[in-house]
Amino acid sequence: MCLAVPMKLTKVASDKLSGSAEFDGIERDVNLSLIEKPRVGDYVIIHAGFAIEKFNAKEAKIQLELFREITEAVGLKKNMI
């Protein structure tokens, strides 16, 4: 019951309390009352029909970059052995 997934906002109502979000080709109505300033195009984490937090794409990129460096560094080490 705790399932939560990142979805992209496709619609935001004018009162910013509800909207629609898309994930893997599936669109569904979402309640946006628990997050600040939702905007179309934002990624949000959806749980039980509610956006519970915004997704920070910048932080995701930093982490993926770090993973790339780790993979390369370890790969290099493998080659040195």
Partner 1 sequence: MKYIDEFRNSDTANALSRQIHELSSELPGQITIMEVCGTHTMAIAKFAIRSLLPEKIRLVSGPGCPVCVTPAGYIDAAIELAGDGKTIVTFADMINVPGTSSSLSKTRSSGAKVETCYSPEAAVETALKNPGTEIVFLAVGFETTIGPVTSIVARASAEKIRNVSILTSFKLIPPAMEALSSDKELKIDSFLCPAHVSAIIGAKAYEPYVEKYQKPCVIAGFEPLDILSGIKMILQQIIKGEARVENNYSRVVKYEGNQRAVSFIYKYLECSDACWRGLGMIPASGLSLKKEYHGFDAEKRFGIRISNRAENKGCRCGDVLKGKIIPSQCPLFAKTCTPEKPAGPCMVSSEGTCSAYYKYMR
**What is the size of the binding site for partner 1 (CB under 8 A)?**
37
Question: For residues 41 and 55, is the Cβ–Cβ distance under 8 A?
Answer: no
Alpha-carbon span 2 to 56, nearest angstrom: 21
Instruction: Give, as ranges, the residues between 22 and 41 that touch partner 1 (CB under 8 A).
Output: 23-24, 31, 33-36
Do strands 26-31 and 18-23 pair parallel, antiparallel, or not at all (unpaired)? Answer: antiparallel
Is residue 16 involved in binding partner 1 (CB under 8 A)? Answer: no
Smallest separation, CB 12 to partner 1 (Å): 16
- The DSSP H or E segment spanning 69 is helix 57-80
Tokens (6 digits) for 47: 């749980």
**Footprint of partner 1 (CB under 8 A):** 1-6, 8, 23-24, 31, 33-36, 43, 45, 47-50, 52-53, 55-57, 59-60, 62-64, 67-68, 70-71, 73-75
